[in-house]
Chains A and B, each alone.
Chain A
């Protein structure tokens, strides 16, 4: 398919996933903070959250207040993580590929955009942020549901889904590294003072029930990190996202056997499986290192995807000389 269209679809998938994940996380944090007021959740500071979402935080600033973090992460048009900025970008991208996504998908996203644009979000965030995030999450879920129901399983679908999974893996890794890893003790147990962080994160992303069904034992830092990294049966784990990303690119690329990003993802998937099965001792440091490696690997995958599939798209201007 046209490189330009594939590029738009991939990034639309990323932006919708980013908006969805951010909204979900902020919603979860709010609910957790209602249960234990003060910080958003015990052990999970707003600085950590902002850092997890890639927002530059001046370390000398001092603690960030909830209201400000929430505004930045929801409303700031300049911030790459802000929910409304992501929805804006996703909608623009969808407009450019109108002929490829179904009418209903466009309507779902456009309605979300219009609602966010027309409402006084600042006020809503102060009085009842849950409704804002719930609305965003519902519409994003509708979007993915419609993609599943109405899109032909062709390259367009593959690139859209690939974007979603690429973003999902990236977001999950960020959150793990910032909000859980600091609470690893060397022997694999949890450091003192961290007993709230892991379940808070799980609750924030909506994975607490899944964790309980899959893992016997308390929701402490190390087991939660392992679950969110390795558990392929949990659809938002890093391993699941890596596998899905691999599979979608393989669907889209007729020369998948020699495609660098696909080979890299296959190797990454195998490594994750290997580490999962062989985590004999509870080596927290090894896990922390692995998280960092995986994140770096995904950066390489990202670059290779852009290069292999989208670099053909002419992104540079044409200049006429007389």
Chain B
């Protein structure tokens, strides 16, 4: 790193305006065969990223390194951390790694993405309602019944219940990736307990404080309306006729890796953060235990998996649950977000049916495509996939967070053989996907230089009585060279995501705070006059 620094110092002393003024991006080389979000080719930025590139060049490596240090210190002090596990299972808290180079999406491009997301989430919501009632889509043969009834997330205890407004996926996100052709595709749907939005908000705040100059020339759509949107949605679904609804955030507790986000959202929304021991169900109504007795709870934003929420209906050994909660839910006295049982729409096998769902429930053509996926429960697809196992990505149907993902092109012969065994043992539990050549974007490396790293995008949508999509979302970046695994639990980082305001919309640009007035000083009284009098008085009082 010493050499890198020395070199940058040399570079910076070059007189600007000479033929080859060297900036931070001058040596940036996009990877062959991948779409780079900023550079079409070396030295040629896309039109909407020109301002960014200028800023980066102006800043240079030293500034980037220094900003990185300040960012780390800020996050450490604020306790913005995420738990990662060592291979042996021990967990560490590290400050959430925010990369300083934002990811920019032009406004028109976002419009298309947003339309695609809305469509997809409406379809998933309709699917959930159907699955827990008439299961028409199964009767019509569009979705095999095995995918529904065989899913461990299909919750028979809530079969026949319709939550308020028929909304199931109150907080949803469909992870998006961009392929080598630059087209956006959906990688995965998330309608269970989608996490990461707190980092979206914290990243934006950090960027406006650390590097306000990067915003120069851009009108970036704000994201900080998220907590208000979520709170409104929760209040809308709360069954509290004629009174103020009481909303809570339910967390498994400080030991949970996303606890920071639970506490953050509760604080931002101004509602209580409760744990299981704070809640009790009596006479089919859910209450929380306060210093003034029991207070009725009308809507719960829960960050626990269905399995744990009620030992009477689900896992009996769950100490994190509230006995009788499903009874209250069934009686309609409490709303739960996301609805119980949404996981059946969330698994990777059902994912492959989502384009068909869009056609069936909405009568529309899907705007966003899936990544080409093969269901290995089907013997033909299984055979074809195993024949090309070294080219494909294999994923377990019911895992999340990147667990168990097998990447053929990166695997050794032994690993391939082992994976083949695993799949043959239980093909129903596996899907195969074509390898997506994830797009890249400049990311700050240890020496302050910019390198291409792979990214994806997790947008966030809040579905109350209306569907609202936050502009952008969480861009996750794989920090290790060549890696395409972006999950934060496995060493990924994130970037602030900017959706540019198209003409006539968006909010105000974040403006750096004005210099405060200098602190007032004690007014100087007629100084000599005063001391003169004081001296006289002192003389008078002095004992003789």
Contacts and interface: CB of A to CB of B under 8 A. Distances in A.
Task: Answer whether A and B touch in the complex at a CB cut-off of 8 Å.
Answer: yes
B254 A6 contact: no
A103 B292 contact: no
A322 B316 contact: yes
B79 A313 contact: no
Interface string A252-267: 1111000000000000
A72 interface: no
B294 A312 contact: yes
A96 interface: yes
Interface size class for chain B?
Answer: 20 to 34
A310 interface: yes
B303 to A, nearest CB: 14
A310 B79 contact: no
A98 B290 CA distance: 18
Nearest to B323: A318
Contacts of A254: 292
B225 interface: no
A314 B280 contact: yes
Contact of A318 (B272, B288, B291, B319): B319
Interface in A214-260: 252-255
B13 interface: no
Nearest to A104: B77
A99 interface: yes
Interface in A250-288: 252-255
B273 A99 contact: yes
A155 B291 CA distance: 10
B29 interface: no
Nearest to A321: B316
Contacts of A320: 311, 316-317
Which has the most chain B C-beta neighbours within 10 Å: A2, A95, A98, A103? A2
B75 to A, nearest CB: 12
A252 B311 contact: no
A309 B290 CA distance: 8
Nearest to A99: B263
Contacts of A3: 278, 289-291
Contact of B267 (A4, A99, A159): A99
Contacts of A6: 291
B266 A313 contact: no
Nearest to A96: B254
B291 A1 contact: yes
Given A2-B274, A322-B316, A314 B267 contact: no
B237 to A, nearest CB: 22
Contact of A103 (B77, B278, B289, B316): B77
A2 B290 contact: yes
A255 B292 contact: yes
Contacts of A317: 319
B263 A98 contact: yes
B277 interface: yes
A237 to B, nearest CB: 28
Interface size class for chain A?
Answer: 20 to 34
Which has the most chain A C-beta neighbours within 10 Å: B278, B290, B319? B290
Contacts of B78: 103
B256 to A, nearest CB: 13
B290 A312 contact: yes
Interface in A288-322: 308-310, 312-314, 317-318, 320, 322
Interface in B254-282: 254, 263, 266-267, 272-275, 277-278, 280
A320 B263 CA distance: 29
Contacts of B278: 2-4, 313-314
A312 B77 CA distance: 34
Nearest to B277: A314
6 smallest CB-CB distances across A and B, nearest first, come from A312-B289, A309-B291, A314-B277, A3-B289, A99-B263, A320-B316
Given A313-B289, A320-B311, 14 more contacts: A1-B272, A1-B291, A2-B290, A3-B278, A4-B275, A99-B266, A155-B291, A308-B291, A309-B291, A312-B290, A312-B291, A313-B277, A314-B280, A320-B316
29 contacts: A1-B272, A1-B290, A2-B289, A2-B291, A3-B291, A4-B278, A6-B291, A98-B79, A98-B254, A99-B263, A99-B266, A155-B291, A252-B291, A253-B292, A254-B292, A255-B292, A308-B291, A309-B291, A310-B291, A312-B289, A312-B291, A312-B293, A314-B277, A314-B280, A314-B289, A317-B319, A318-B323, A320-B311, A322-B316
